[in-house]
Amino acid sequence: MRIALVTHYMPPHTGGIEQVAALLSRIYADAGHEVHWVACADPERPGRGAQDGLALVRLRAFNGLESRFAMPFPIPLPGAYAEIDRAVRGAEVVHLHDCLYPTSIAADAAAHRHGRPTLVTQHVAMVSFGGGLVDPVLFGAYRTVGRRVLRHARTVAFVSESVREWFTRHVDHSLHGETVANAVDLARFHFPTRDERNRARATLGIAVDDRVVLFAGRLVPKKNVRALVAALAGGSAQLVVVGDGPERDALGPLGGRALHIPRLPHERMPEAYAAADLFALPSVGEGLPLSLIEALASGLRVVVSRDPSFDALADCDGIVRSEVDPAALHDTIEDLLGEDLATRERRAAASRAWAEARYGLESFRRRYLGLIEAAAS
């Protein structure tokens, strides 16, 4: 079967959707399908190519929103739409990622025009930008353009129950969908040995006895990095930040206790988890962040916000939820860092067990191969 996989970006551009799509492209190809991956070009140059048995089409696009606001929302330039149409027309099924990206909207229109079935993976629900005109416009876009893309799909795969609940409540209660959680390679992301931990810390320039809190993600307001920095300002823990964005200046108050790594190749992310004592993600409006799954698989204790997007994780003993204000975050993090060895080991084991039970590759592979076959039939 020939599959057109359409995303906003592809690696080496960093992001969770890109990594999930890369995993799916490999799963489809290994199952004998012909994969044509179409996405906007950044940081690579536009053009056609091949890599590891995949046909890659990188589109010309305007990426100014990301460079200025760290908003990964590329807009294909006019010639790119013909490339999208060509890829969709030649496919037997089209797999789209998120319903509001211009690449997804264009590919959906082409699929509808050429009678090609679509499968949509919906990674996130609506994220509030604080009111004003932006929130009503975004909500309206989900209720119109986004709903059309989702309604055209044979099936929508929501990455979490919270994402599914938002769309069925606010966009369309009749959507044909199911929940398929993201997955990680549980062999790559694992409990680090003492030697692996020490090597990772040496590589990153972290002392063996430092108390280390890790954050991985885009430095944008919804991640609440400023609150995390304020929470750590009164203590002695070091913050390691993997990712970049307009909120990078928030790290300033920590001075030398903040290690900022704007870009770390995904294959090196196990080093970051191995070097940390706990993982903090006090964000709102998430789907199921890949960094969170990787942290759990690596046996890290995790601090998240009380945002509804994390409700499904409430029963995991390795996860502690906190209010986002700096005082509450400070107390939560200090309590975790101060836990005795037996409690730390219990929580770490719970994190790993949670990941093993829910985010393994085999179930993910089986579910998506079934969905893609069903969409094509």
Give, in order, the Cα–Cα distances in Å from 200 to each of 206, 208, 342, 369.
Answer: 8, 10, 23, 36
| Domain CATH number, residue 273 | 3.40.50.2000
Question: Alpha helix locations (H) across 249-376?
Answer: 269-275, 290-297, 326-337, 341-358, 361-376
Model-level pTM greater than 0.85? yes
The band of 132, judged by pLDDT with boundaries at 50, 70 and 90, is: low
For 334, phi and psi rounded to 5 degrees?
-65, -40
pLDDT at 154 over 90: yes
Residue 237, both tokens: 């823990």
pLDDT at 272 over 70: yes
pLDDT digits (tens, 9 = 90+) for 213-253: 999 998 888 899 999 999 999 889 999 999 988 889 999 99
One domain for residues 220 and 275:
yes
The band of 126, judged by pLDDT with boundaries at 50, 70 and 90, is: confident
One domain for residues 18 and 139:
yes
Give a yes or no: residue 189 inside a domain: no
pLDDT digits (tens, 9 = 90+) for 290-306: 999 999 999 999 999 99
Average pLDDT over residues 79-99: 97
Give a yes or no: residue 231 inside a domain: yes
pLDDT at 331 over 70: yes
Residue type, 308: P
pLDDT at 131 over 80: no
The distance from CA 357 to its chain's CA centroid, rounded to whole angstroms, is: 19
One domain for residues 35 and 86:
yes
DSSP 98: -
Q: Range of 274's domain? A: 194-358
pLDDT digits (tens, 9 = 90+) for 174-214: 998 999 999 999 999 999 999 999 999 999 999 999 999 99
Average pLDDT over residues 345-373: 97
